[in-house]
Chains A and B, each alone.
Chain A
């Protein structure tokens, strides 16, 4: 009996997957959300507010709005509407995580290995997450370039990529890179770098190589343009690894650096000054509270957990006050999940920041506008404002409450997660033969 219920349910979920890729069946980017408690994030909270979305863009915010005929109306009934949650550090929706063989692999491009079939996308949507910065892992000192995706479940992979986001290059320091928590197999040598000083030296040497590479190309270009280019003129070998590092030096990429302990961050800031490259944020940054002055002065933000700590030595001095304290010190802070499980309760993680010193409004920013700013997409998303893309999430209670749950997740006016519809589907499947679930 349960098998039959299961099978019908499975058929239905398959159907839902197919239908969601047939955009003609959805609202097509037009919605009118009525009577919501609108948490705009950058402005005041609007009780009993309406949001009109046309062609995936927020057209109007107010009270008693009307929509053109045919536009789907969503009755919020006082529920809380917030901007879609942005997770600035994940590894979902990718065919691989680490090119862990070499310590320097900037040539690998995560944008080329997006996997839109990853069910983690659905899991994230069920937690109100609409956008992710999905990255190369932290196995290497220099990993690869990352990609920002909108979680349009059911759409082809190329439609998920957010082209407007800052192009970023993953760096990592500390224990993962040193492989210090791994058992070395006999016959396999310890990979360089085995120390934090080796990691920094490696970055320096690679960037110097990149500089040489850029100089070689400059020389070639000069010679080619000259009146009598030499007969034996041959372009330098195109090296994808050094090309990417050259882009970092040229300012075409910004660094996102996984660092836990304070000296790692201080020294990486020094490297960035030495070579003139930009840092987008420090990932995890468990000891950021120790160096708020340095971070503030450098204008570098952090993307952190709230209280998942003590799993490695370098996380042993992480404190749950980190996010709140750094926010209070004027640092741009976002909360991330770095996990296909935590991503669906990212809003709870941000909610904990209230206990550690922030207001609910400030905590809400940690997973919306702050994240958007760090990714360079704050013109497009991160708050509920007229003109921004309609990436929204509807919650049963205030998203910073422990008692809330995500009811609906909308990306550019299309509904990608609808709990009510899901429950109806389940009820239909189970009433056929009776049963609890």
Chain B
């Protein structure tokens, strides 16, 4: 190619070509910078679809108008005027639902699988290193995410349009972010940053705390320390004279908004006892809390009912190692995974406890599979839908923008061929922030 170019270009023309190239580059960069503004999203009108608004009863044959990423109008076919600049999407035979929200995922994070692949030598090598605690209350997980197009697509096919990406290491794990799965650009995806501080009942290895009771004492001590720190800071601000200056503590600084100013804290509970332990801490320090995981929530339903705390219930049915079902041999464990844990959500529903469902611990395929199993185990389909739309929206404090198909809300919706949770159903179109994604029907 170079040879060819050399042949053609006489020496005198080269500076001109360079100048031209520079011009093109500048122009295109300018246009890129203005991409957001320059690019115009079409207005859409979805017509003749069966609409599940969630906040209202089902509309058998209706129209949804979307403009500039927001829902302009929703209603029965006759009642809604279709704007002339709207791109018509024929949706007869299709169902429209609000895009599903998974309020707890570890999407787009690079997880270290070291414990899975270490050799005995590597393991001992790791053990010999001086252990350091891994606590990140200040971590903004949005800085760590690396979105991938394939993952976005996969989640679309599961019907999910909004996710919370939560940190996943340590006891004080860090702060999560709410994302709309509208592209693979972080800046475009962020809905709310940060959302909450995440705490997990896990342990450190080789350093304090290395046991469940150590973790509880550690949490409690940190909460007390935050209160004391805040007291000290306040007093110092009011009257610093003769008062010892509070020592700057980045850990406690990170906790102030959550422990003192009551921003939301999410406790990850991996078994029924951790739910009880979380409730105790929440009550003691009057925290604004949400519980996630909750795979054994049905076993503590009375306490959850009276505590009235938002629940993010996982659809991961694997019995935790501490469970009675996991200590009596493989057969009982498998039976529990197939029959007992899938009934968790339906049992909560029977107790009239509000909850959201999440894909935490699962990939997109297993999420769909397990969701169906939960419904089969007795969770009413409409409650399942609410648990993936309006409930998580409320818990995230985004119910004014998401969770149902209502005018003014963000245009996140999915179009399905078939009832949403049925086996043979496929998702044909997904809209996120008004951007339309079309998917071929997968042969199921």
A interface, CB within 8 angstroms of B: 6-7, 10-11, 13-14, 17, 95-102, 105, 107-110, 112-119, 136, 144, 156-158, 185-188, 230-232, 234-235, 237-240
Contact of A101 among B207, B220, B300 (CB under 8 A): B207
5 shortest interchain CB distances as A-B pairs: A96-B211, A99-B214, A117-B324, A108-B213, A232-B243
Could you tell me the distance in whole angstroms from the C-beta of A151 to the nearest C-beta in chain B? 14
Interface SS majority for chain B? helix
Is A240 a contact partner of B217 (Cβ separation < 8 A)?
A: yes
Instruction: Flag the segment in B82-90, B139-147, B231-239 that touches A.
Output: B231-239
1/0 contact string of B321-343 vs chain A (CB within 8 Å): 01111011101100100000000
Could you tell me the distance in whole angstroms from the C-beta of A121 to the nearest C-beta in chain B? 9
Contact sample, A vs B, 13 pairs, CB 8 Å cutoff: A10-B335, A95-B213, A96-B214, A99-B217, A108-B214, A112-B280, A116-B273, A117-B323, A157-B276, A188-B127, A232-B241, A232-B242, A240-B217
Asked whether B437 is an interface residue with its Cβ less than 8 Å from the other chain, the reply is no
> Which of chain A's residues have a CB closer than 8 A to the CB of B217?
99, 105, 107-109, 240
Asked if A108 meets B273 with Cβ closer than 8 Å, knowing A14-B335, A117-B322, A119-B328, the reply is no
Asked if A110 meets B225 with Cβ closer than 8 Å, knowing A187-B130, A234-B243, the reply is no
> In the bound complex, how far is the Cα of B218 from the Cα of A107, in angstroms?
9
Is B211 a contact partner of A112 (Cβ separation < 8 A)?
A: no
Chain A CB count within 10 A is highest, among B203, B232, B273, B299, for B273
> Which of chain A's residues have a CB closer than 8 A to the CB of B129?
187
Asked if A6 meets B276 with Cβ closer than 8 Å, knowing A99-B208, A99-B213, A238-B224, the reply is no
Could you tell me the distance in whole angstroms from the C-beta of A307 to the nearest C-beta in chain B? 30
> In the bound complex, how far is the Cα of B331 from the Cα of A11, in angstroms?
10
Is A96 a contact partner of B273 (Cβ separation < 8 A)?
A: no
Is B213 a contact partner of A110 (Cβ separation < 8 A)?
A: yes
Residue in B closest to A144 when the chains form the complex, CB atoms: B213
Asked if A112 meets B331 with Cβ closer than 8 Å, knowing A100-B211, A101-B214, the reply is no
Contact of A240 among B220, B271, B280, B325 (CB under 8 A): B220
> In the bound complex, how far is the Cα of B208 from the Cα of A396, in angstroms?
48
Give me 13 other A-B pairs in contact (C-beta within 8 A), A108-B214, A118-B324 excluded.
Answer: A6-B331, A11-B335, A95-B322, A97-B211, A107-B221, A108-B211, A108-B217, A116-B273, A185-B128, A188-B130, A230-B242, A238-B224, A240-B221
Chain B CB count within 10 A is highest, among A10, A112, A118, A188, for A112
> In the bound complex, how far is the Cα of B210 from the Cα of A232, in angstroms?
38
Asked if A234 meets B231 with Cβ closer than 8 Å, knowing A95-B212, A187-B128, the reply is yes
> Which of chain A's residues have a CB closer than 8 A to the CB of B273?
95, 113-116, 157
Residue in A closest to B271 when the chains form the complex, CB atoms: A117
> In the bound complex, how far is the Cα of B203 from the Cα of A98, in angstroms?
12
1/0 contact string of B113-135 vs chain A (CB within 8 Å): 00000000000100111100000
> In the bound complex, how far is the Cα of B299 from the Cα of A10, in angstroms?
20
Asked whether B378 is an interface residue with its Cβ less than 8 Å from the other chain, the reply is no
> Which of chain B's residues have a CB closer than 8 A to the CB of A109?
213, 216-217
Asked whether B148 is an interface residue with its Cβ less than 8 Å from the other chain, the reply is no
Could you tell me the distance in whole angstroms from the C-beta of A372 to the nearest C-beta in chain B? 26
Asked whether B149 is an interface residue with its Cβ less than 8 Å from the other chain, the reply is no
1/0 contact string of B267-286 vs chain A (CB within 8 Å): 00001110011001000000
1/0 contact string of B293-321 vs chain A (CB within 8 Å): 00000011000000000000000000000
Is B224 a contact partner of A99 (Cβ separation < 8 A)?
A: no
Contact of B228 among A115, A118, A238, A240 (CB under 8 A): A238
Is B213 a contact partner of A112 (Cβ separation < 8 A)?
A: yes
Is B276 a contact partner of A185 (Cβ separation < 8 A)?
A: no
1/0 contact string of B167-209 vs chain A (CB within 8 Å): 0000000000000000000000000000000000001101111
> In the bound complex, how far is the Cα of B244 from the Cα of A237, in angstroms?
13
Is A119 a contact partner of B327 (Cβ separation < 8 A)?
A: yes
Is A101 a contact partner of B210 (Cβ separation < 8 A)?
A: yes
B interface, CB within 8 angstroms of A: 124, 127-130, 203-204, 206-214, 216-217, 220-221, 224-225, 228, 231-232, 235, 239, 241-244, 271-273, 276-277, 280, 299-300, 322-325, 327-329, 331-332, 335
Is B214 a contact partner of A105 (Cβ separation < 8 A)?
A: yes
Contact of A185 among B127, B216, B322 (CB under 8 A): B127
> Which of chain B's residues have a CB closer than 8 A to the CB of A105?
208, 214, 217
Residue in B closest to A158 when the chains form the complex, CB atoms: B276
> Which of chain B's residues have a CB closer than 8 A to the CB of A7?
331
Is A10 a contact partner of B331 (Cβ separation < 8 A)?
A: yes
Asked if A119 meets B324 with Cβ closer than 8 Å, knowing A97-B211, A112-B216, A240-B220, the reply is yes
> In the bound complex, how far is the Cα of B244 from the Cα of A376, in angstroms?
46
Asked if A234 meets B232 with Cβ closer than 8 Å, knowing A101-B214, A115-B273, A240-B220, the reply is yes
Could you tell me the distance in whole angstroms from the C-beta of A266 to the nearest C-beta in chain B? 31
Asked if A185 meets B124 with Cβ closer than 8 Å, knowing A98-B211, A99-B213, the reply is yes
Could you tell me the distance in whole angstroms from the C-beta of A152 to the nearest C-beta in chain B? 13
Residue in A closest to B238 when the chains form the complex, CB atoms: A231
Residue in B closest to A119 when the chains form the complex, CB atoms: B327
Is B228 a contact partner of A235 (Cβ separation < 8 A)?
A: yes
> Which of chain A's residues have a CB closer than 8 A to the CB of B324?
17, 117-119
> In the bound complex, how far is the Cα of B230 from the Cα of A237, in angstroms?
12
Is A100 a contact partner of B210 (Cβ separation < 8 A)?
A: yes
Could you tell me the distance in whole angstroms from the C-beta of A309 to the nearest C-beta in chain B? 28
Is A115 a contact partner of B322 (Cβ separation < 8 A)?
A: yes
Could you tell me the distance in whole angstroms from the C-beta of B126 to the nearest C-beta in chain A? 10
Is B228 a contact partner of A108 (Cβ separation < 8 A)?
A: no
Is B216 a contact partner of A108 (Cβ separation < 8 A)?
A: yes
Chain A CB count within 10 A is highest, among B217, B235, B277, B323, for B217
> In the bound complex, how far is the Cα of B273 from the Cα of A95, in angstroms?
9
Chain A CB count within 10 A is highest, among B211, B328, B332, for B211
Could you tell me the distance in whole angstroms from the C-beta of B278 to the nearest C-beta in chain A? 11
> In the bound complex, how far is the Cα of B217 from the Cα of A110, in angstroms?
10
> In the bound complex, how far is the Cα of B211 from the Cα of A293, in angstroms?
39
> Which of chain B's residues have a CB closer than 8 A to the CB of A114?
273
> Which of chain B's residues have a CB closer than 8 A to the CB of A158?
276
Residue in A closest to B332 when the chains form the complex, CB atoms: A10
> Which of chain A's residues have a CB closer than 8 A to the CB of B220?
240
Could you tell me the distance in whole angstroms from the C-beta of B99 to the nearest C-beta in chain A? 38
Could you tell me the distance in whole angstroms from the C-beta of B378 to the nearest C-beta in chain A? 16
Asked if A99 meets B210 with Cβ closer than 8 Å, knowing A107-B221, A232-B239, the reply is yes
> In the bound complex, how far is the Cα of B403 from the Cα of A71, in angstroms?
55
Could you tell me the distance in whole angstroms from the C-beta of B180 to the nearest C-beta in chain A? 38
> Which of chain A's residues have a CB closer than 8 A to the CB of B130?
187-188
> Which of chain B's residues have a CB closer than 8 A to the CB of A95?
212-213, 273, 322
Residue in A closest to B235 when the chains form the complex, CB atoms: A234
Residue in B closest to A244 when the chains form the complex, CB atoms: B217
> In the bound complex, how far is the Cα of B323 from the Cα of A123, in angstroms?
16
> Which of chain A's residues have a CB closer than 8 A to the CB of B272?
117
> In the bound complex, how far is the Cα of B325 from the Cα of A117, in angstroms?
8
Is A186 a contact partner of B128 (Cβ separation < 8 A)?
A: yes
